[in-house]
Structure 1
Amino acid sequence: MRRLLAGSALALAAALPALAEGLTDMTATEREAFRAEVRAYLMENPEVLMEAIAVLENREQAAAIEQDKQLLAEYHDAIFNDPASWVGGNPDGDITVVEFIDYRCGYCRKAWEEVDKLVEGDGNIRFVLKEFPILGEQSVLSSRFAIAVLQLHGGEAYKQAHDALLSLRADATPEALVRVAEGMGLEPQPIMERMQAPEVTKIIEDNHKLAQTLQISGTPTFVIDGTFVRGYVPLDGMQQIVAQQRADG
């Protein structure tokens, strides 16, 4: 009976444009009676609405997944093979995890150690980080610092800076970033100067443009091979997604 009612509701939804047009041929009394009949039916069978909504949500979810697949195919190299982005984990891994990150984001900080455990524990994941500062000037300064370290000192120093920025409890001021550099054993002045270089600015701008194209508006956002993960997911959830991507081939 529930299936029949749901089918009736969907048929009614599909027929609404024609019904609306037909209402114009009715008298005011007939229209009022028709509306009252429809309302009475839905009030007596509210589950029909819930089932119809569930069908609609499933269709919207399927459409969103298909759109994500098209975006991943069209912008594959920009997402996975951007030479300006840091690459860690296993460079030859069979799964690539890309993270759009803001160092001032609480959920990025929450995910940080779990993502490291995912990559290190798996051993066959290629990990890509994309600087995506969206939470104000301190976020921008942090990303500029990290990119400058990468450009001047390479990938190992970048990962060290990345970890230091995510664990930084003070405000990300220029003075604090100088202390971070000194704590890493690096000369701060060249890094601080490099932070304002056009090459650094371009990376941040390019990442923002890519995120906008991919409809990414928050952090952390992950791209795990063939799927988007928008928001924080615990370690076991990430492991399940990786396993499903491997199963899907």
Structure 2
Amino acid sequence: MRILLVLLFTLTATPLWAAQPFTPEQEVRIKALIRETLIANPDILEQSINAWQQQANEAQGKQLNQFIAANKKILYEDPGSPRFGAAKPVLTIVLFTDYNCPFCKIFDPLLEKLVQEYPQVAVVLKPLPFKGESSVTSARVALTLWQQHPDQFMAFHQRLMAKKGFHDASSIASAQKTTGVTPVESSEQSLNVLRSNLKLAEQLGVQGTPATLIGDQMVPGAISYEQLEAIVKQQLAQAEK
């Protein structure tokens, strides 16, 4: 591997102003040596890729930790964001979700199961209106209900998540009626919360829902309960050190 690195360094690291151009024969020989080295040591390329990937992951993790440290209040303590689970959590999970997202509807019950099995964990919900106007409407009604009647939120949230397909005015009204919650008019604050959620999602590089911030890991997509639990156990162990 050292031979390959030396050859690559020779080709790329010498300043143009100081270097004498290689002759065609030298270039052919250098390329041949690189090829021979790779053939004789096929693991070199994989090792190099793995090392690069590790460096990239470490840099990304450092940036994420810096962002979390600078935005703890809005991520974890925003009174306008619904939450469930532990009142004084060891670990707080942030879920970016959408009431029209089919994968969110699959993943959401896993988080409810998680907080039952791990009473030291809390979940903060950050609705995102990624899937059209009814995503905005359903999220605003849910957020307003949380702001005005937080004790009624969870039943309504679960009902919205239980519906297959997209919501409309009729399905939202039906969810209110079925759960017996107090009818609310969408507040201006709910719109501000959605705007804040969109800004956070953009800064975190969220491309779709669900997306879950678990400790110092940003997890895209609807993972299995086993995967979720493994990450949570790891993050709890770090938090409890």
**1:91, distance to aligned residue in structure 2 (A):** 0.9
SS, match of residue 34 in structure 2: helix
1:227 to 212, 217, 222: 217
2:142 aligned partner, one-letter code: A
**1:229, distance to aligned residue in structure 2 (A):** 2.2
* TM-score, normalised with respect to structure 1: 0.85
**1:132, distance to aligned residue in structure 2 (A):** 1.6
In the alignment, which residue of structure 2 is the partner of 1:126? 122
In the alignment, which residue of structure 2 is the partner of 1:176? 171
Q: Is the 8 A contact 2:80 2:190 kept in 1?
A: no
Post-superposition CA distance 1:94-142 (Å, at most 9, x none): 2211211112222211112111110011112122111122122232222
SS, match of residue 13 in structure 2: helix
May I ask how many residue pairs the two structures share in their alignment? 238
Alignment of 1:27-38 (within 5 A): 27-38=23-34
Residues 1:209 and 2:199 aligned together = yes
Q: Is the 8 A contact 2:83 2:125 kept in 1?
A: yes
RMSD: 2.3
Residues 1:155 and 2:155 aligned together = no
| Structure 1: distance between partners of 2:96 and 2:8 | 40
Q: Which has the higher helix share?
A: 1
SS, match of residue 135 in structure 1: coil
Range 22-31 or range 137-146, more displaced: 22-31
Q: Is the 8 A contact 2:3 2:37 kept in 1?
A: no
Q: Is the 8 A contact 1:9 1:52 kept in 2?
A: no
Gaps of 5+ in 1: none
Q: Is the 8 A contact 1:80 1:96 kept in 2?
A: yes
Q: Is the 8 A contact 2:134 2:167 kept in 1?
A: yes
Residues 1:239 and 2:209 aligned together = no
In the alignment, which residue of structure 2 is the partner of 1:135? 131
**1:241, distance to aligned residue in structure 2 (A):** 2.0
Post-superposition CA distance 1:206-233 (Å, at most 9, x none): 1101111122222212222333222222
| Structure 2: distance between partners of 1:138 and 1:13 | 55
| Structure 1: distance between partners of 2:121 and 2:48 | 40
| Structure 1: distance between partners of 2:198 and 2:190 | 13
Relative to structure 1, is the Cα distance of residues 147 and 15 closer, same or farther in structure 2, using a 3 angstrom cutoff? farther
**1:43, distance to aligned residue in structure 2 (A):** 4.4
* TM-score, normalised with respect to structure 2: 0.87
Gaps of 5+ in 2: none
In the alignment, which residue of structure 1 is the partner of 2:42? 46
| Structure 2: distance between partners of 1:198 and 1:155 | 17
**1:75, distance to aligned residue in structure 2 (A):** 0.9
Identity %: 26
2:228 aligned partner, one-letter code: M
